[in-house]
Amino acid sequence: IRRCQPFRDIISDLIRQFGVTPIIESDLPSTVEMTLRETDDVWVVHLLHYAVERKSRTIDTVEASIPTYDRTLSVRAGWTPARVTLVEDTGETDLPIDFPSEGKRFVIRLPRFDGHAMILIHRHA
């Protein structure tokens, strides 16, 4: 994966040169898979961080979850969220939200997740 990082940086720089600004920027490891789904009143961010092992040419298996600690997501939404929650097997937790001085983005602080996390960004209370 480390060999791929220069290519990721090049592609990311090219996309930015075309004026495309990512909706979500993060300090997550490159091994975390992040997806965003938008509905009328909530954005759902799924985070997956698992160790995958190749068993053969055609079979990959998930071997273990990888815990991730003290990360941030910077979100460009164009609106102010009413609430942000982390949904896990054990229940829901409200996450702190920061609003940097620029005002175009808000920052979500993610204390930890173990393998899978679902973050709900609520438009309305």
Quote the pTM value: 0.80
Is the per-residue pLDDT at 2 higher than 60?
no
Residue 85's SS3 state is strand
Correct CATH for 23-122 of 2.60.40.1180, 1.10.1040.10, 1.10.10.10, 3.40.50.2300: 2.60.40.1180
Which of the four pLDDT bands, split at 50, 70 and 90, describes residue 4?
Answer: low
Distance CA 109, CA 11 (A): 27
Q: Which residue has the higher pLDDT, 125 or 91?
A: 91
Is the per-residue pLDDT at 100 higher than 90?
no
Q: Which residue has the higher pLDDT, 1 or 78?
A: 78
Q: What is the pLDDT of residue 13?
A: 83
- DSSP code at position 63: E
